[in-house]
Amino acid sequence: MELKALIISVLLVVIRVGVQASQTNSFFGGRSSVLITNDLPAPSKLIVHCKSGDDDLGIQNLPTGGQKYWTFRPNIFGTTLFYCYFNWDNMVMSVEVFNDKHDGGECTGHCLRSVRKDGIYFLNAKDGLWERKKSWTPQNSKNIVNYQ
């Protein structure tokens, strides 16, 4: 009976990984990418700091129309997560720009993000629509980020 339970458990893991791989194109070497575009009104300087648990992508100043782009290989466990801190005109925002648990199926390997005056938008590749995911928060002494 124990062997049967072990076989069933292994099969369930294989099915889970296979489903994830078909959704994210990440199984055994597939790469994903994130493209963040500064779609704020000109002239606007957007400060962006993106990282994951393993990688710090550094701080970047994006002019209006500027972009931040990177590629990565999601892990097979479906736990890859990238988040970014944004600062613009005394407003701040912290956003998960890629979370394999829910973005893997929505952005099909190429995740497009647009930072706008009212927040950040994600393109849903399934329906081709931009969805606002988070709004700006006024910067104060509790949420200030020092980029020096």
pLDDT at residue 11, rounded to an integer: 46
- Identify the H or E element spanning 2: helix 2-24
Write the DSSP symbol of residue 97. E
pLDDT at residue 9, rounded to an integer: 54
Per-residue pLDDT reduced to its tens digit, 77-119: 888 999 999 999 999 999 999 998 876 567 778 899 999 999 9
pLDDT at residue 31, rounded to an integer: 87
pLDDT at residue 100, rounded to an integer: 85
CA dihedral over 94, 98, 103, 107, signed as positive or negative:
positive
Instruction: Count other C-beta atoms under 10 Å from residue 20's C-beta.
Output: 20
**On the CB side of 21, how many CA atoms lie within 13 Å of its CA?**
11
* CATH class label, 2-138: mainly beta
Is this structure's pTM higher than 0.85? no
CA distances for 91 relative to 45, 80, 82, angstroms: 12, 27, 21
Residue pointed to by tokens 């049967």: 4
CA distance 108 to 127: 12
pLDDT at residue 75, rounded to an integer: 86
CA distances for 100 relative to 65, 81, 130, angstroms: 27, 6, 19
Amino acid identity, residue 2?
E
Per-residue pLDDT 10s for the chain (148 aa) are 676 655 655 544 444 544 444 444 444 557 889 999 999 999 999 999 999 988 999 999 999 999 999 999 888 888 899 999 999 999 999 999 999 887 656 777 889 999 999 999 999 888 899 999 999 999 885 655 555 4
